[in-house]
Amino acid sequence: MNDDLVIIITAGLTATACGLLGPFLVLRRAALLSDAVSHAVLPGIVATWLLLHTRAPFAVIVGGAIFAVLCVLAIDGLRSTGLVRSDAAIGLVFPLLFALGVLGVTRYASGIHLDLDSTIYGEIAFAPFDVWTIGGVDVARSIVVIGSIAALNLAFVILAWKELKASTFDPGFSQTIGLRPQMLSRLMLVAVAITAVTAFESVGAILVVTLLIVPGATAYLLTDRLAVMVALAVGIGWIGAVAGYWGAVVGDSSIAGTMGLVCAVCFALALLVSPKYGLIATAVRRRRRARATATALAAER
């Protein structure tokens, strides 16, 4: 397979996996969980190295995933005491895990080359060089791994669609009809954690964080329907993947960074020109209303 195509497909599949979950994070006011997870995996990497002395992708993913899940569950636990709001809970837990990771690195692993860039914070540009041979065909590892995560997320979102929808918009109602929203929200957080960790390893942390938040937020500006929102989020992610790769090649720049910037541009555009919630539409509506009021007043006089 052509190298360019591998990178674009890898990024697109990441966009799919993230776009399926991102809207729910945005709607549940937990968008920053993705960033929290991206920092919380550090102690997992250090622990994997200390226990197994390996930096093999699989072991690192498992180690990182354990701490990522720990992180989201700890946040959920803190929040469910009702004493700490969701954002503060996030901000308490992930720096702690990050700090533990830094302490682990300085205490036990300073001699070896164990830094974030080379282990879990992967670089998407290297995706084509890591190839698996499946049934005589060479396939990039990242495509297989992220493709299966995307498929799992798709299955999760489709199977739990009604439940997710109910518990996102009205947790009280979904509790009443026996859906156990807390259980479901934990399940979703675990899905986010696993998606993030797996994708970090292939495409880098910042791209995953961006793809989990920005397309979801952009779609939120464009529509009021959940299904449309999820589809839009995936689509915007793909736009970011394709246009970002093209921009990076033209400008000889960081691929992940440019993809992130393209997503940011999409967000800015939606903020400006969204037909219902955009700044322009709101301004026009306000002006029209002011004029209508003015004419009505004039007519009365």
Partner 1 sequence: MGWLIDLLPLSYTDAVVVIGAAILGLTSGVLGSFAVLRERSLVGDAIAHAALPGVCIAFLLTGAKDAGSLIVGAAFAGIAAAVLMVAIERTSRIRPDAAIGVVLSCFFSLGIVLLTYISSQNNANQAGLEKYLFGQAAGLLERDLVVMAALAGASLLFVAIGFRILKVALFDADFAGSLGLPVRVLDVAMTVLLVVAVVIGVRMVGAILMVAMLISPVVAARQLTHRLRTLLPLAGVIGAGIGIAGALLATGSELPTGPVVVVVGFCVALAAVLLSPGRGALWRARHVAAERRRAAFEGVLLEVETAMHAGPPPTVAELRLATGRPRAQLTRTLRRLERAGLLRRDGAEHRLRLTEAGAAAAHELEQRRDLWAAWLEHGASLELPDAREPDPRDVRASLGDDVADRLQELAT
Q: Which residues bind partner 1 (CB under 8 A)?
A: 26, 29-32, 34-35, 39, 78, 81, 83-88, 90-96, 98-100, 102-103, 106-107, 206, 209-210, 213-214, 216-217, 220-221, 252-254, 256-261, 263-264, 267, 271, 277, 279, 282
Instruction: Using the minimum distance from each CB to partner 1, give the nearer residue, 36 or 65.
Output: 36
Instruction: Using the minimum distance from each CB to partner 1, give the nearer residue, 286 or 288.
Output: 286
Instruction: Using the minimum distance from each CB to partner 1, give the nearer residue, 232 or 261.
Output: 261
Instruction: Using the minimum distance from each CB to partner 1, give the nearer residue, 90 or 145.
Output: 90
Q: Residue 28 Cβ, how far from partner 1 at the closest point, in Å? A: 9
For residues 166 and 173, the answer to whether their CB atoms sit within 8 Å is yes
Q: Residue 139 Cβ, how far from partner 1 at the closest point, in Å? A: 28
Q: Residue 66 Cβ, how far from partner 1 at the closest point, in Å? A: 19
Q: Residue 205 Cβ, how far from partner 1 at the closest point, in Å? A: 9
* Angstrom distance (rounded) from CA 275 to CA 285: 11
Q: And the tokens for 238?
A: 């793909």
Instruction: Using the minimum distance from each CB to partner 1, give the nearer residue, 102 or 131.
Output: 102
**Pick from 206, 264, 198, 271: nearest CA to 237:** 264
Q: Residue 46 Cβ, how far from partner 1 at the closest point, in Å? A: 12
Instruction: Using the minimum distance from each CB to partner 1, give the nearer residue, 123 or 130.
Output: 123
Q: Residue 96 Cβ, how far from partner 1 at the closest point, in Å? A: 4
